Amino acid sequence: MAAPLDVSPVGAEAIPEAVTTGLSGQRIEGRSLGQIAWLRLRRDKVAMASAVFVIFLILVAILGPFLVQNPDTYHSNLLNPTLLSPNGAFGGISLAHPFGVEPQTGRDVLSRIVNGARYSLIIGFLATALAVIIGVFFGLIAGYFGGWVDSLIARAMDVFLAFPLLVFAIALVGVLPTNASFFGISLAGNTLRIGLLIFIIGFFSWPYMGRIIRGQVLSLREREFVDAARSIGARGPYILFRELLPNLWGPILVYATLLIPTNILFEAALSFLGVGIIPPTPSWGDMLSDAVTNGYYYIDPMYMFIPGMAIFLTVMAFNLFGDGLRDALDPRTR
């Protein structure tokens, strides 16, 4: 087995004394490719800042809902009784409501943003995981076996990429019932809807991953270590998952990171169009949609700005982190 990432220099060959002790007498430590990538990543300030923000966001999504107030509590007393816009400047920003309150209901915007983060991230991560699993599996098979298998899978990917996904998602969410059971698991209401969103988003974004994996496998399968494995009698599945897959973690990690923000945006778009998360469960896309369809942007622009900003920062952080990760793992693309 000879996966480059797993190369361990210790004891691999005879090491001259001058190298191990160094010119100044200090011992030069051997570094794995993973360590080198980590060093590069650590030096990339933008990527590190994005990583910190992403971790912060994940913490907010996990712990935040326990720290903020109930997102479904109405505060009609904080609204102008005639116009129903929040009293006070910038959408009713106050100590009790740092992001202001929602027009027409008076619900706390901070707690809706924090609770919305949870659903945005759950859907973004799980849909990406689904896309990665399907994409890697078919990408490996298509790239390694080639021939008619490759043609079949490549055409299937073309079909998926050409699919009018938004239209399909709207139609599918529209026709499905409010409760259903799959393989003995019965789902209802929002749980069903979230499962459905994860499935639709993940199932239709796997070809992006599949194409990249297929391209990588096409070049990897001609390498000596694959020939060597084959010559000692290794068969398809072993080569695919033990020889090729470990060499693909870099691109998988990078493209998964870049797929997450796309999927978060897609969830926001579906919620914006009214086929996402079912209210009153908060969602960033839904808040933006309310701002537009209910005309809040006119009486309270802050209410549009805050969820817009949340989506913007999240998507940008994931994208910048993904870019940094790619640069660190594969400096040639820089």
Instruction: Write the binding mask 51 to 90 for other proteins: x where contact by CB under 8 A, - elsewhere.
Output: ---------------------xxx-x--x-xxxxx-----
Pick the piece of the chain touching other proteins (CB under 8 A) from 115-123, 173-181, 203-211, 247-255: 173-181
| Best CA proximity match to 209, nearest among 251, 155, 167 | 251
Interface with other proteins includes 178 (CB under 8 A)?
Answer: yes
The SS3 assignment for 150 reads helix
Number of residues that bind other proteins (CB under 8 A): 29
Least gap, CB of 76 to other proteins (angstroms):
5
CA 12 to chain centre: 38
Interface with other proteins includes 301 (CB under 8 A)?
Answer: no
Interface with other proteins includes 290 (CB under 8 A)?
Answer: yes
Among 50, 105, 263, 314, binds other proteins (CB under 8 A): 105
Report d(CA 221, CA 235) in Å as an integer: 13
Cα-trace Rg, the chain = 25
Least gap, CB of 78 to other proteins (angstroms):
11
CA distances for 288 relative to 31, 32, 250, 274, angstroms: 48, 46, 35, 11
Interface with other proteins includes 151 (CB under 8 A)?
Answer: no
String of DSSP letters for 172-204: HHHHS-SEEEETTEEEEHHHHHHHHHHHHHHHH
Computed from CA positions of residues 100, 297, 320, 322, in that sequence, does the dihedral angle turn out positive or negative?
A: positive
Pick the piece of the chain touching other proteins (CB under 8 A) from 31-39, 108-116, 241-249, 272-280: 272-280
Nearer Cβ to other proteins (88/146): 88
Q: Are 248 and 213 in contact (CB under 8 A)?
A: yes
Least gap, CB of 88 to other proteins (angstroms):
16
Give the interface with other proteins as residue ranges (CB under 8 A). Answer: 72-74, 76, 79, 81-85, 104-106, 174, 177-178, 188-189, 274, 278-280, 290, 293-296, 298-299
